Amino acid sequence: MKATLEKINELHRQGIIERFAIGGGIAHFYYIEAGTTYDLDVMVGMKVQTSGLISLTSLYDWAEKSGYEVSEEHIVIEGIPVLFLPAYNPIVTEAIEKAEEVEIFGVKTFMMRPEYLMVIMLDTYRAKDRERLIKFLSQSRYSLEIFESLAARFGVLHKYEEFKAKYYDQ
């Protein structure tokens, strides 16, 4: 994982990816009891093309030039499948912007804050997100005030109320 994070930092330094933050399962496990995940999700800011689309071409060109295998949507970097996801909505965009700098395996990187991860879980609302949200609420250190404020601002507070009534009876 250390070598993978170093390569991601290199992508950032080279300007291939702009601001980035670790999200998904690895970010969850930074804050809660570890579970299972297949890959490393890296949420990225990418340059918007004149067409208005976001292109990952420079990322895949870098992978090919550097000799890294592309397996479906993942680039296997130093043995770790990495999924680069452009910021696909305002929640993720802000989560990347507000990510905190942390050190993992001796490498500085950016991690989405727990309150943003929790709001993203409410937004996607898959079964695994609901399970992880229960763990976040009971195991992680987060600000309830910030979480509820973000949930309201991003229009998922109703899902949180529904979630609490159905799955999280304190």
Same domain, 121 and 94: no
Q: CB–CB of 128/163 below 8 Å?
A: no
| pLDDT at position 45 | 83
Please report the pLDDT score of residue 37 as a whole number: 80
Looking at residue 168, its pLDDT comes to 83
Structural domain span for residue 45:
2-112
Query: Are 65 and 121 found together in one domain?
Result: no
Return the residue matching tokens 């670790």.
22
Tens-digit pLDDT profile for residues 33-49: 877 788 999 999 876 55
Report pLDDT for 48: 58
Query: 127-137, pLDDT tens digit by residue?
Result: 999 999 999 99
Model confidence pLDDT, tens digit, residues 76-104: 999 999 999 998 899 999 999 999 999 99
Q: Are residues 89 and 123 in the same domain?
A: no
Structure confidence at residue 170 (pLDDT): 63
**Which residues lie closer than 8 Å to 10 by C-beta, 6 or more apart?**
none
Q: In the listed set 68, 93, 112, which residue is the last one of a domain according to the structure?
A: 112
CATH classification at residue 65: 3.30.460
- For residues 99 and 134, membership in a common domain is answered with no
Model pLDDT, residue 169? 75
Same-domain status, 31 and 72: yes
pLDDT score of 50 more than 60: no
- pLDDT for residue 113 is more than 60: yes
Which three-class secondary structure state does DSSP give residue 151? Answer: helix
d(C-alpha 63, C-alpha 47), whole Å: 18
Q: Distance between CA atoms of 90 and 96, rounded to whole angstroms? A: 10
Edge to edge, the sheet with strand 107-111 lists 69-71, 74-77, 80-86, 40-44, 20-23, 107-111, 100-104
